[in-house]
């Protein structure tokens, strides 16, 4: 029994040694400079600790996002259109959700909207399609004002632009 445990521990130690050697060699190849072993090990430890941190565990246990209504959908749509470089964003298709407590004054909101491309011209004809070409996903800060929840357009960041087929 003790012999099996020693073998398992030895295999784990060998795996870790080969992993670290691979990390150091790939770091050297990618950056063309000598690795700092202490900094690389500290980075790995901090990443592993962040995975098991109480905040991450709470994020996993949180329920589905809460849908919210905002008062400045058109302004947010124009800002999303400008930042994502699409030709139009469907304000009616906008889906705004948050994982934050809606009783707070400030919220981080996730915004999803359909984006449209410019009309295609084929053999002299312009074909205008009502079908969206993109799905734009963004994050922004929102704050409750006197007339409702308002998104601060200056905090809007585009997370992804997905091409729809």
Same domain, 114 and 147: yes
Q: What is the mean pLDDT of the chain?
A: 82
Domain end marker among 35, 61, 87: 61
* Average pLDDT for 88-95: 85
The parent domain of residue 109 ranges over 66-163
Q: Distance between the two ends of the chain, CA-based, in angstroms?
A: 57
**How many angstroms separate the CA atoms of 49 and 61, rounded?**
18
Is pLDDT above 80 for 1? no
Q: Does the reported pTM lie above 0.75?
A: no
For 5-28, the DSSP string reads HHHHHHHHHHHHHHHHHHHHHHHH
142 close to 150: Cβ distance less than 8 angstroms: yes
Is pLDDT above 60 for 123? no
Same domain, 52 and 112: no
Same domain, 73 and 141: yes
pLDDT digits (tens, 9 = 90+) for 25-74: 888 888 888 888 888 888 888 888 877 777 666 665 656 788 888 888 88
Same domain, 93 and 127: yes
Q: How many domains does the chain have?
A: 2
Same domain, 85 and 134: yes
Same domain, 159 and 86: yes
């Amino acid at each position: 029994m003790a012999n099996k445990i020693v073998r398992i521990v030895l295999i784990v130690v060998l795996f870790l040694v080969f992993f670290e050697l691979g990390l150091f060699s790939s770091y050297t190849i990618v950056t063309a400079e000598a690795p700092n072993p202490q900094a690389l090990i500290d980075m790995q430890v901090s990443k592993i600790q962040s995975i098991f941190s109480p905040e991450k565990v709470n994020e996993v246990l949180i329920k589905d996002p809460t849908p919210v209504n905002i008062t400045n959908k058109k302004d947010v749509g124009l800002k999303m259109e400008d930042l994502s470089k699409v030709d139009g964003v469907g304000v009616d298709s906008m889906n705004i959700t948050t994982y934050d407590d809606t009783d707070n004054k400030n919220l981080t909101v996730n915004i999803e909207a359909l984006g449209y491309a410019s009309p295609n011209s084929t053999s002299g004809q312009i074909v205008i399609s009502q079908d969206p070409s993109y799905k734009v996903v963004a994050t922004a800060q929102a704050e409750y004002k006197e007339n409702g929840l308002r998104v601060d357009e200056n905090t809007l960041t585009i997370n992804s632009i997905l091409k729809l087929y």
